[in-house]
């Protein structure tokens, strides 16, 4: 695998049963790169380990006053130097390639999982956790993959040197052969504590990242209520906790490094002392002593790789466990963990190219039915319940909620198919993800606008039947275009020559922070409308706009979506009055179906939800008494009727 070949055509199906299994799966998928790196490592270290032999040969040549042998020793050192440089350069190249390709594979898997789960991902795992896994944890996993091949080369070279020393000089070689494994294992008792401290540091860093992400996302609201200092203080405390945990972790790793330096030094002193005594007794030559001494000095180099692999594994194991936990999340119990968005080997090519999905959309958990081709409004009363129902309608059943009736775990276990919506009688979680996404598009209550121009924002997969102009008009984005045109005129790079400023080429900042909440909401609605899916599910699409704009949006959506199935989660009387049918779903169960005016007159619970009627107002109205001044109707009903008549 070469870096130029990234991204992978298919990153594969990871083994997410545990962190170590995930690391083994990564290594197995890069076996060729690991072998290549290990071989270059052996070349590099074999050249290094041969230097003591050349040095000893040269020292003995000086003692014997042999010029020819001294010249041979010099030539050998030059050759070994060239070989060492070549091996080191190629080892670094191969190891870094392993690191980058492993990190790229993990990031592709995480991106694929994000696409697969959609908005359901942040309901299963915190957004800060996802960010931490896709940044810091990916780096640590790549570090272990990179260090593994160098450690393999170091371990093979160390064993070979110990065996060679035993054969070359049995007395000193036996001391080295016993001492080196003891040095390598000496740090093992310290590793569990170091790993715990590293985990503590990472957990605190993840919480700080999540706090920072939440603060930035809510900065506009914080400024409005004067809460910047409060959250700044919280983040300052969290960052200090991260610093303290990092210092504690660094102290432990410094202790491990000190042990790795001190113990080899003691071994070297012991070998020199024992070797000098043997040389005085005439049992070994001076050249042999220098050779053994140089070999032991060389062994300090691969021993550093033992320390590094211990650190890399201690850091990467919890990181791999967290990555595996995210990758193990599933759309539903019927999918395999970590399955790709479209698996043609499982679903078959014929199913992928079959006729598009269509028909009535039905949620068996709540009993909510949206007939094909109609505008259906859904009133839940509970925003969280509405969000869970919207996820199910999009083929992402969320288990464990109070309204879903399941008892599965957080990753999608439990009732599986029963929790998935049916489109034309077909369970959405039983079809390839691309087919489900093409048929049903869900826009949640807090859609995200990515940075870029308006043209890029609306450049999404679409049927081609709805133009960007029609979508923007239906979403009532005229004032948004005017504001973007002014911004384009103010920017010298945004002018469009003689034709004037072009709002479609004006850049929108990250998450649309330069726009108001209502403007962001309408642009997100236009983006959803331009895709023209068979079924469009909108969760509170007009909560941030005024009543007059809301009425025009309702008419525009109804007109543009004629013949298509549209479901709107809302409690706004203006939207409800324009729907073909309204489904009332309190407590996770559909209990009323009809038009808005019919339900207002027949269902008091529905009326209380959509009119925000209090218990006292309901009691007064049922008793035939007005709660306001004489001649006025009850507060909630009067406001609803006025809005409906005015917009009509």
Half-sphere exposure of 145 (CA within 13 A, CB side): 33
Structure-block tokens of residue 545: 């706009």
Label residues 139-164 b or e (16+ Cβ within 10 Å = b).
Answer: ebbbbbbbbbbbbbbbbbbbeebbee
Q: Are 408 and 415 in contact (CB under 8 A)?
A: yes
In this prediction, residues 231-247 reach a mean pLDDT of: 85
- What is the model's pTM? 0.62
Task: Choose between 299 and 84: higher pLDDT.
Answer: 84
Q: Is the pLDDT reported for residue 576 higher than 90?
A: yes
Structure-block tokens of residue 60: 């003995």
Structure-block tokens of residue 77: 């050192």
Let me know the angle formed at the C-alpha of 389 by 220 and 576, rounded to the nearest 5 degrees: 75
Q: According to the model, what pLDDT value does residue 498 have?
A: 45
Coil, helix or strand for 592?
strand
- Of 211-220, 257-266, 503-512, 542-551, give the lowest mean pLDDT range: 211-220
Let me know the angle formed at the C-alpha of 577 by 576 and 583, rounded to the nearest 5 degrees: 45
Instruction: Tell me the pLDDT tens digit for each residue of 471-518.
Output: 999 999 988 888 887 776 655 454 444 455 778 888 887 666 778 888
pLDDT tier at 7, thresholds 50, 70, 90: confident
Q: Is the pLDDT reported for residue 353 higher than 70?
A: no
pLDDT tier at 578, thresholds 50, 70, 90: very high
In this prediction, residues 110-138 reach a mean pLDDT of: 78
Are β-strands 581-584 and 375-379 bridged in parallel, bridged antiparallel, or unpaired?
Answer: parallel
Q: Is the pLDDT reported for residue 21 higher than 70?
A: yes
Helical (H) or strand (E) element with 583: strand 581-584
Percent of the chain with pLDDT over 90: 19
In this prediction, residues 272-283 reach a mean pLDDT of: 81
Q: According to the model, what pLDDT value does residue 162 have?
A: 84
Coil, helix or strand for 61?
helix
Cα(273)–Cα(424) distance, integer angstroms = 86
Cα(269)–Cα(250) distance, integer angstroms = 29
Q: According to the model, what pLDDT value does residue 232 have?
A: 76
pLDDT tier at 418, thresholds 50, 70, 90: very low
Q: According to the model, what pLDDT value does residue 369 have?
A: 94
Q: According to the model, what pLDDT value does residue 215 have?
A: 65
Task: Choose between 88 and 271: higher pLDDT.
Answer: 88
Q: Is the pLDDT reported for residue 403 higher than 70?
A: no
In this prediction, residues 271-282 reach a mean pLDDT of: 81
**Beta carbons within 10 angstroms of residue 274's beta carbon:** 15
In this prediction, residues 208-228 reach a mean pLDDT of: 66
Q: According to the model, what pLDDT value does residue 594 have?
A: 94
């Amino acid at each position: 695998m070469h870096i130029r070949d990234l991204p992978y055509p298919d990153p594969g199906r990871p083994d997410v049963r545990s962190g170590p299994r995930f690391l083994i799966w990564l290594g197995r998928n890069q076996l060729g790169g690991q072998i290549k790196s290990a071989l270059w490592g052996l070349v590099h270290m074999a050249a290094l380990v041969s230097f003591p032999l050349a040095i000893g040969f040269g020292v003995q040549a000086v003692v014997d006053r042999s010029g020819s042998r001294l010249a041979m020793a010099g030539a050998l050192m030059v050759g070994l130097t060239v070989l060492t440089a070549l091996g080191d350069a190629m080892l670094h190249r191969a190891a870094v390639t392993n690191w980058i390709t492993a990190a790229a594979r993990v990031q592709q898997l995480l991106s694929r999982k994000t696409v697969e789960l959609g908005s359901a991902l942040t309901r299963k795992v915190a957004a800060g956790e996802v960010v931490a896994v896709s940044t810091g944890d990916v780096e640590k996993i790549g570090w272990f993959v990179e260090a593994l091949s160098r450690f393999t080369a170091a371990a093979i070279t160390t064993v070979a040197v110990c065996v060679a020393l035993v054969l070359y000089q049995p007395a000193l070689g036996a001391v080295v052969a016993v001492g080196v494994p003891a040095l390598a294992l000496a740090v093992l008792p310290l590793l569990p504590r170091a790993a715990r401290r590293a985990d503590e540091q990472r957990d605190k860093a993840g919480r700080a990242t999540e706090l920072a992400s939440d603060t930035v996302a809510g900065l506009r609201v914080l400024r409005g209520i004067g809460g910047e200092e409060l959250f700044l203080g919280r983040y300052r405390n969290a960052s200090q906790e991260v610093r303290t945990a990092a210092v504690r972790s660094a102290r432990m790793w410094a202790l491990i490094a000190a042990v790795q330096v001190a113990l080899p030094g003691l071994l070297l002193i012991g070998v020199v002392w024992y070797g000098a005594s043997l040389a005085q007794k005439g049992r070994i030559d001076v050249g042999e002593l220098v050779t053994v001494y140089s070999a032991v000095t060389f062994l300090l180099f691969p021993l550093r790789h033992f320390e590094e692999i211990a650190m890399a594994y201690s850091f990467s194991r919890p990181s791999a466990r967290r990555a595996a936990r995210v990758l193990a999340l599933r759309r539903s119990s019927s999918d395999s963990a970590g399955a790709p968005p479209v698996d043609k080997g499982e679903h078959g090519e014929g199913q992928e190219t079959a006729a598009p999905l269509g028909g009535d959309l039905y949620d068996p958990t709540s009993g909510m039915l949206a007939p094909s081709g109609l505008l259906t409004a859904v009133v839940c009363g509970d925003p969280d319940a509405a969000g869970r129902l919207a996820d199910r309608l999009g083929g992402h059943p969320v288990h464990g909620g109070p309204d879903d009736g399941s008892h599965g775990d957080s990753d999608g276990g439990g009732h599986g198919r029963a929790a998935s919506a049916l489109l034309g009688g077909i369970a959405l979680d039983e079809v390839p993800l691309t087919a489900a996404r093409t048929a049903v598009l869900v826009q949640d209550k807090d859609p995200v606008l990515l940075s870029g121009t308006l043209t890029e924002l609306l450049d999404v997969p679409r049927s081609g039947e709805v133009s960007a102009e029609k979508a923007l008009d239906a979403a009532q984005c005229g004032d948004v275009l005017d504001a973007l045109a002014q911004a384009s005129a103010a920017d010298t790079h945004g002018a469009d020559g003689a034709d004037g400023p072009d709002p479609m080429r004006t850049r929108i900042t990250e998450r649309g922070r330069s726009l108001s909440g209502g403007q962001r909401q309408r642009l997100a609605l236009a983006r959803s409308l331009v895709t023209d899916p068979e079924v469009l599910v909108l969760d509170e699409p007009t909560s941030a706009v005024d009543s007059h704009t809301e009425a025009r949006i309702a008419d525009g959506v109804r007109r543009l979506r004629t013949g298509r199935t549209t479901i709107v989660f809302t409690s706004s009387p203006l939207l409800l009055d324009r729907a073909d049918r309204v489904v009332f779903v309190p407590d996770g169960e559909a209990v009323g179906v009809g038009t808005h005016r019919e339900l207002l007159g027949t269902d008091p619970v529905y009326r209380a939800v959509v009119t925000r009627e209090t218990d006292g107002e309901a009691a007064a109205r049922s008793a035939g008494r007005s709660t306001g001044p004489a001649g006025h109707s009850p507060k909630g009903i009067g406001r609803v009727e006025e809005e409906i008549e005015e917009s009509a």
